[in-house]
Amino acid sequence: MCGIVGYTGREAAAPIVLNGLSKLEYRGYDSAGVAVFNEAENDIDIVKTKGRLKNLLEKTDSGKAMPGGCGIGHTRWATHGAPSEKNAHPHCSDDKMVVMVHNGIIENYQELKDKLLRKGYAFYSETDTEVIPNLIDYYYKDDLFEAVVKATSKLEGSFAIGVIAKNEPNKLIAVRKDSPLIVGLGKDESFIASDIPAVLNHTRDVYLLEDKEFAILTPNG
């Protein structure tokens, strides 16, 4: 029962994402992580930890050590690969261009992984999830949304996904299939989460994504 939270807006993303994850601790998890687009360095910072969310709060100074207004976070319950920092989400593509979080199980991940290995991609974790950012990266030319659509069309199984990319700051792409995901809308800010309590401190304007429905979120809506 993993948890997802994502944010893009005018505020600092990391504290909001971490607070949202704390509202999802009831779902059970064994590791946690957060990724934020760092505008000053034009890069995506990723911090992950094994164990409880408090460990992630300590590593990030409750999010204050991770500047930026667009971020995603995750609490993981291990399915593929043991609980560890390297297996925790968020996961990134081989070139660190694409970063994403995922709930669900990719049934054809080994087939996809073998194909990507033949294309020259390297993998660092034992998870099924890691094929997704690399597959998105494979299809990514100049449009993240188009790449996510193409990549997810190849996935078999269940998924709720939040994706950010270094080349498209402040944009967050979300999609779900057989795994719950909601979108929240606030003033100059947008959210995703795997359950409504994660965003209730910020908005009551919530939309439940339908199966195979995509969302493109920016601070403007």
pLDDT for 85: 79
Residue 113 has pLDDT above 90, yes or no: yes
CA dist 30 to 114, 115, 129, 188, Å?
28, 30, 16, 33
Q: What is the dihedral of CA 57, 91, 158, 1, to 10 degrees?
A: -20
Secondary structure letter of residue 26 according to DSSP: G
Cα Rg, the chain, nearest whole Å? 15
Residue 29 has pLDDT above 90, yes or no: no
Secondary structure letter of residue 24 according to DSSP: T
pLDDT for 170: 95
Residue pair 163/143 in contact (Cβ under 8 Å)? The answer is: no
Residue 82 has pLDDT above 70, yes or no: no
pLDDT band (50, 70, 90) for residue 77: low
Q: What is the pLDDT of residues 130-155, one digit of tens each?
A: 999 999 999 999 999 999 999 999 99
Instruction: Write the single-letter amino acid at 31.
Output: S
pLDDT for 27: 63
Which residues neighbour 153 within 8 Å (Cβ) at sequence distance 6 or greater?
Answer: none
User: pLDDT: is 166 or 1 the higher one?
Assistant: 166
- In the chain, the percentage of residues whose pLDDT exceeds 70 is 95
Residue pair 49/88 in contact (Cβ under 8 Å)? The answer is: yes
Task: Give me the chain's average pLDDT, please.
Answer: 93
Residues comprising the chain, all counted: 221
Helix pair angle (131-139, 109-118), 10° resolution: 50
- Of 204, 192, 221, which Cα lies nearest the Cα of 90? 192
The residues with which 98 forms a beta bridge, in sequence order, are 165
pLDDT for 52: 86
